[in-house]
Amino acid sequence: MAVDPDDWEAIDAADRRAVYIISVAAELAGVHPQTLRIYERKGLVRPHRTNGNTRRYSQADIDLLRRIQGLTQEGVNLAGAKRIMALEEDLQRLRTRIAQLEERLEHHAIPMPGEHAGEAILPISSVLAPPWQRRRA
């Protein structure tokens, strides 16, 4: 999965430390160094650049390179791999958002806008309880 620099806080600091030079990164990813340059030109990976403008790759970059290799070995071209990884990122972002909203809904009523003002969406657990959780009178 591609790693957007804005999302780097979610990745372990050790995984995002750019320590590998291009030859080591290529060997770890199982590709030729020129392949890494092509991936960079195509926008599939963005290695860190040192003050001397040399590329440095992190473990997250290596994982990304392995993902790209896996897709291309399955017959997906680079444009397709880039699109698949973008869709995977979107899917993960949406799953995270859904989990946040479900958590919020479980604990708080959400007021309805517009013509339904004054009504609220309530957690179903506050209205109905499964039979095994119902209190006996």
**Whole-prediction pTM value?**
0.62
Quick: pLDDT tens for 79-91: 999 999 999 999 9
Q: Which residue has the higher pLDDT, 76 or 120?
A: 76
| CA dist., res. 63 & res. 67, Å (int) | 6
Please give the angle made by the CA atoms of 121, 124 and 96, to the nearest 5 degrees.
75
pLDDT given at position 120: 65
